[in-house]
Amino acid sequence: MSLFDEISKPDEHEVENLSTSVLPEHLQYIVIEGVIGVGKTSLTKLLAEQSDARLVLEQFEENPFLERFYSDRDRWAFQTQLSFLASRFRQQQSLGGRDLFHRHVISDYTFDKDRVFARLNLTGDELALYETMFTIMQPTTPVPDLIVYLQASTDRLMENIQRRGRSYEKEMDRSYIENLGQAYNQYFFHYNQSPLLIVNATNIDFIANRNDLNELVRQIAQLRHPGTTYFNPSPTRTPLL
């Protein structure tokens, strides 16, 4: 189920230039989130570059268990999850220091995503131990001023995953991506810790299409709503798949 099922779809309009490349002062810490393959890291890099912001990327390649996890999730889920928890917590702690060179920080993950994955991949005593550790760590991590949740169809996600060609993702299970998407939707349906912008990214290409990127950045820069806001590009746009 998509979070956009009950949302009305606005008319499409083109953006010729980006007049809001500088982010507003109140958005000092922005997180771009979404399921594997949705383009969150690419958008994070583009937004940080345009805004001269400090770039914070998840260090997934440093997880020594990740490749083994994709080969045998049941066997390696707990080790993989604890490694991510420790890495993400350590990185989040570093965000508390003052940065004299950047007014904004833009990251491609939120610390709370760790629990989304854990609840999908762990059970029993392993999940109980994880929850204990997460509960101790989570209150000391910074809360974003805005989360941008990129949502896309499973077809689009699988195409993106295959296109980027990471060796350990070549045999990615479609059902795992579908379940992960449902877990993300469930999490963000109840999210209320900070402003949230949910973007239907199925029919846009902010990497190759400058107008798509400009419009998305404009939506982020103009956001003032304290709750959840939806950006749903017109369905008349030609799908990428």
- Which amino acid is residue 7, in one-letter code? I
pTM: 0.85
Q: Any idea what DSSP says for residue 142?
A: P
d(CA 162, CA 165): 5
Q: Residue 15 corresponds to which tokens in the numbers above?
A: 């953006």
Range of the domain at 166: 29-231
Q: In the Cβ-directed half-sphere of 238, how many Cα atoms lie within 13 Å? A: 1
For residue 130, give the H/E element and its range. helix 124-137
Provide the number of structural domains found in the chain: 1
CATH number at residue 113: 3.40.50.300
Tell me whether residue 15 is in a domain.
no
Q: Are 149 and 197 in contact (CB under 8 A)?
A: yes
d(CA 153, CA 74): 26
Instruction: Using alpha carbons, select from 31, 66, 21 the residue that is nearest to residue 199.
Output: 31
> In the predicted model, what is the mean pLDDT of the chain?
86
198: β partners: 149, 230
> pLDDT at position 133, please?
97
Tens of pLDDT, residues 98-141: 565 688 999 999 999 999 999 999 999 999 999 999 999 999 99
Tell me whether residue 19 is in a domain.
no
Tell me whether residue 14 is in a domain.
no
d(CA 5, CA 11): 17
Tell me whether residue 91 is in a domain.
yes
> pLDDT at position 19, please?
39
Tell me whether residue 239 is in a domain.
no
Tens of pLDDT, residues 160-207: 999 888 888 877 899 999 999 999 999 999 999 999 999 999 989 998
Tell me whether residue 58 is in a domain.
yes
